[in-house]
């Protein structure tokens, strides 16, 4: 990741903590899905590569998003994590891990996440991301609202 000094403080804090917790979250998610079927993912020789690739992509996307002006952002940070399950899903399927029983809500809203790896909240990634994630969201909302007020639109 690059220098976070150019980011607003809430974004820099979110990115900093995400840098520490993203790979462990992904590894836990994959290992948990495999363990639910009695499979030890730690024995897979391609686990580290998949975790490394996906983590690097998520963190690069997160950094780019957080560096984007709030009025130009078209997604949110947690959505990046939810969308980052493709490589993990492929890995689990390659190793023969059965998918969980279908869940109508998950199938409709997250069709590319059959193992339900994507987080619903920041705490699902890591409890250390809960407060920074909410703080960033509040900061973004405040920034947008203040801009609209300054423009006479609120």
CA distance 154 to 145: 8
User: For residue 153, what pLDDT is reported?
Assistant: 78
DSSP one-letter code for 112: T
Residue 153 tokens read as 């639109």
Whole-prediction pTM: 0.90
What is the chain's Cα-based Rg? 17
pLDDT in tens, 43-86: 999 999 999 999 999 999 999 999 999 999 999 999 999 999 99
pLDDT in tens, 21-35: 999 999 999 999 999
Q: In b/e form, how buried is each residue of 61-71, taking b as 16+ CB within 10 angstroms? A: bbbebbeeeee
User: For residue 3, what pLDDT is reported?
Assistant: 52
Q: What is the DSSP string of 7-70?
A: S-HHHHHHHHHHHHHHHHHHHHHHHHHHHTTT--GGG-TTHHHHHHHHHHHHHHHHHHHHHS-T
Would the pLDDT of 106 be above 90? no
CA distance 121 to 96: 28
């Amino acid at each position: 990741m690059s220098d976070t000094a150019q980011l607003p403080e809430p974004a820099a804090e979110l990115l900093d903590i995400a840098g520490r917790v993203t790979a462990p979250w992904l590894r836990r998610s994959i290992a948990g899905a495999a363990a639910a079927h009695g499979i030890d993912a730690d024995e897979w020789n391609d686990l580290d590569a998949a975790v490394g690739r996906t983590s690097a992509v998520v963190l690069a996307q997160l950094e780019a998003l957080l560096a984007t002006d709030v009025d130009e952002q078209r997604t949110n940070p947690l959505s990046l994590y939810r969308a980052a399950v493709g490589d993990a899903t492929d890995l689990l399927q390659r190793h023969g891990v059965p998918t969980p029983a279908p869940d109508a809500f998950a199938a409709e809203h997250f069709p590319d996440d059959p193992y339900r790896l994507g987080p619903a909240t920041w705490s699902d990634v890591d409890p250390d991301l809960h407060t920074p994630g909410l703080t960033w969201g509040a900061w973004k909302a405040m920034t947008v609202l203040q801009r609209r007020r300054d423009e006479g639109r609120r």
